[in-house]
Amino acid sequence: MKRIGEDKVAWLERQDHEPKKYTIEDCKAMIKYYKAKIKELT
């Protein structure tokens, strides 16, 4: 709770939001995208 805050924990525990359903391809694309972003920052 200290890392993300009490309000974020409360939001995660509520059932009024839809969970994300990512495909394997979506996950691979996100990994590729964020690895490129990390390289830009370093």
CA separation for the pair 34, 26 (Å, rounded):
12
Does any domain span residue 1? no
Q: Side chain identity at 5, as an amino acid letter?
A: G
Is residue 9 within 8 Å of residue 1, measured between CB atoms? yes
Specify whether the backbone of 5 is left (phi greater than 0), alpha (psi in -120 to 50) or beta: left
> What token pair was written down for 5?
């805050």
- Predicted confidence at residue 3, as pLDDT, reads 83
State the burial class of residue 8 (Cβ atoms within 10 Å of its Cβ: 0-12, 13-18, 19+): exposed
Q: Number of structural domains, the chain?
A: 1
- Predicted confidence at residue 23, as pLDDT, reads 97
pLDDT digits (tens, 9 = 90+) for 1-42: 778 899 888 888 887 778 889 999 999 999 999 999 999 998
Does any domain span residue 35? yes
Does any domain span residue 37? yes
